[in-house]
Structure 1
Amino acid sequence: MPFQAIPRRLKLWRGQRRSKLSDLAAQIVPPAVFPWTQDGAEDFFAEEPGSTPGTLRIDPDAAPSELIAIDYSRTHWERQLLAAPTDCEPLLDSGSVTWLDVQGLGSEDVLRQLGQVFRLHALTLEDIANVPQRPKVEFEDDRILVLVHMLSPRGKGGGYFTEQVSLLLGSNYVVTVQEESEHDALEPVRERLRTDRGIIRRMGSDYLLCALLDAIVDGCYPAMDYYAQEIERLECAILFEPDRKLMREIYMIERDLLTLRRWMAPQTHAIALLMREQHPLISQDVRAYLQECYEHATDILDVVTLYQELTVNLMNLYMSAVSNRMNEIMKVLTIVSAIFIPLTFLAGIYGMNFNTETSPWNMPELNWRYGYLACWLVMIVIACGLVLYFWRRGWFKNSF
Structure 2
Amino acid sequence: MSPEKYLRYLVPSVLFGTQRTKQILQATPSDDITRTDAERTQITVYNYDAANLHQTELKAVHESFDFRDNDQVSWINIDGLRKSDVETIGLHFGIHHLIIEDILSLHQRPKMDEVEGTLYCLLNMLYYNDKQHAVEQEQVSIVLGKNFVLTFQEDPSRDVFDPIRDKLRLATSKLRQRGADYLCYTMLDLIVDNYFIVMEKLGDRIEHAEEEVIRNSNTRSLARINYLRKELIVLKRNIAPVRDLIGGIIRSESELLDDRTTKYFKDVYDHIIQAYDLSENYRDIMISMQDLYVNNVNLKMNEVMKVMAIVTCLMAPATVIGGVFGMNFDVIPTAHNQWGFYTAVGAMLLIPVAMLVMFKRRGWF
Separation in structure 1 between the aligned mates of residue 83 and residue 26 of structure 2, nearest angstrom: 25
Q: Cα deviation per residue 1:317-344 (whole Å; 9 max; x = unaligned)?
A: 1111111111111111111111001111
Q: Note if contact 1:135-1:146 (Cα within 8 Å) is conserved in structure 2.
A: yes
Separation in structure 2 between the aligned mates of residue 277 and residue 374 of structure 1, nearest angstrom: 96
Q: Note if contact 1:148-1:267 (Cα within 8 Å) is conserved in structure 2.
A: yes
Deviation at 1:133, TM superposition (A): 0.9
Q: Note if contact 1:268-1:297 (Cα within 8 Å) is conserved in structure 2.
A: yes
Deviation at 1:148, TM superposition (A): 1.2
Structure 1: 4+ residue segments shifted above 3 A:
25-28, 40-44, 153-160, 195-198
Separation in structure 1 between the aligned mates of residue 246 and residue 326 of structure 2, nearest angstrom: 85
Kindly provide the amino acid, as one letter, of the partner of residue 234 in structure 2.
Answer: T
Aligned to 1:58: 35
The one of 341, 357, 371 equivalent to 2:340 is 371
Q: Note if contact 2:317-2:351 (Cα within 8 Å) is conserved in structure 1.
A: yes
Separation in structure 1 between the aligned mates of residue 131 and residue 78 of structure 2, nearest angstrom: 24
After superposition, the Cα gap between the structure-2 partners of 1:233 and 1:27, relative to the gap in structure 1 and judged at 3 Å, is closer
Q: Cα deviation per residue 1:206-262 (whole Å; 9 max; x = unaligned)?
A: 000000000011110012212322222222222221112222222222222223223
After superposition, the Cα gap between the structure-2 partners of 1:151 and 1:63, relative to the gap in structure 1 and judged at 3 Å, is farther
The one of 77, 89, 94 equivalent to 1:101 is 77
Kindly provide the amino acid, as one letter, of the partner of residue 317 in structure 1.
Answer: L
Whether 1:91 aligns to 2:60 is no
Aligned to 1:244: 219
Structure 2: which 5+ runs fail to align?
1-11
Separation in structure 1 between the aligned mates of residue 342 and residue 164 of structure 2, nearest angstrom: 90
Aligned to 2:362: 393
The one of 22, 26, 29 equivalent to 2:16 is 29
Separation in structure 1 between the aligned mates of residue 166 and residue 258 of structure 2, nearest angstrom: 24
The one of 86, 93, 99 equivalent to 1:118 is 93
Separation in structure 2 between the aligned mates of residue 364 and residue 331 of structure 1, nearest angstrom: 35
The one of 259, 281, 289 equivalent to 1:314 is 289
Q: Note if contact 2:96-2:115 (Cα within 8 Å) is conserved in structure 1.
A: no
Deviation at 1:151, TM superposition (A): 0.6
Q: Note if contact 2:24-2:234 (Cα within 8 Å) is conserved in structure 1.
A: no
Whether 1:380 aligns to 2:349 is yes
The one of 237, 244, 250 equivalent to 1:262 is 237
Moved more, 367-376 or 123-132: 367-376
Separation in structure 1 between the aligned mates of residue 202 and residue 260 of structure 2, nearest angstrom: 35
The one of 153, 167, 173 equivalent to 1:198 is 173
Q: Note if contact 1:275-1:290 (Cα within 8 Å) is conserved in structure 2.
A: yes
Pairing 1:102-181 to 2, within 5 Å after superposition: 102-105=78-81, 107-154=82-129, 159-181=134-156
CA RMSD of aligned residues (A): 2.5
After superposition, the Cα gap between the structure-2 partners of 1:329 and 1:155, relative to the gap in structure 1 and judged at 3 Å, is closer
Q: Note if contact 1:38-1:161 (Cα within 8 Å) is conserved in structure 2.
A: no
SS of the residue aligned with 2:272? helix
Moved more, 369-378 or 151-160: 151-160
Higher helix share: 2
After superposition, the Cα gap between the structure-2 partners of 1:222 and 1:26, relative to the gap in structure 1 and judged at 3 Å, is farther
Kindly provide the amino acid, as one letter, of the partner of residue 29 in structure 1.
Answer: F
After superposition, the Cα gap between the structure-2 partners of 1:308 and 1:156, relative to the gap in structure 1 and judged at 3 Å, is closer
Aligned to 2:6: none
Deviation at 1:155, TM superposition (A): 6.5
Q: What TM-score do you get using the length of structure 2 for normalisation?
A: 0.89
The one of 250, 265, 273 equivalent to 1:275 is 250
Structure 1: which 5+ runs fail to align?
1-24, 49-55, 356-361
Kindly provide the amino acid, as one letter, of the partner of residue 384 in structure 1.
Answer: V
Number of equivalences: 355
Aligned to 1:46: 30
Separation in structure 2 between the aligned mates of residue 216 and residue 63 of structure 1, nearest angstrom: 26
Q: Cα deviation per residue 1:193-214 (whole Å; 9 max; x = unaligned)?
A: 2345630111111000000000
Separation in structure 2 between the aligned mates of residue 136 and residue 94 of structure 1, nearest angstrom: 29
Q: Cα deviation per residue 1:139-173 (whole Å; 9 max; x = unaligned)?
A: 13432111112112447666531121100001111
SS of the residue aligned with 1:144? strand
Aligned to 1:7: none
After superposition, the Cα gap between the structure-2 partners of 1:193 and 1:84, relative to the gap in structure 1 and judged at 3 Å, is same
Moved more, 294-303 or 185-194: 185-194
Separation in structure 2 between the aligned mates of residue 232 and residue 148 of structure 1, nearest angstrom: 28
Separation in structure 2 between the aligned mates of residue 68 and residue 332 of structure 1, nearest angstrom: 71
Deviation at 1:125, TM superposition (A): 0.9
Q: Note if contact 2:96-2:116 (Cα within 8 Å) is conserved in structure 1.
A: no
The one of 260, 264, 270 equivalent to 1:285 is 260
Separation in structure 2 between the aligned mates of residue 392 and residue 364 of structure 1, nearest angstrom: 34
SS of the residue aligned with 1:366? coil
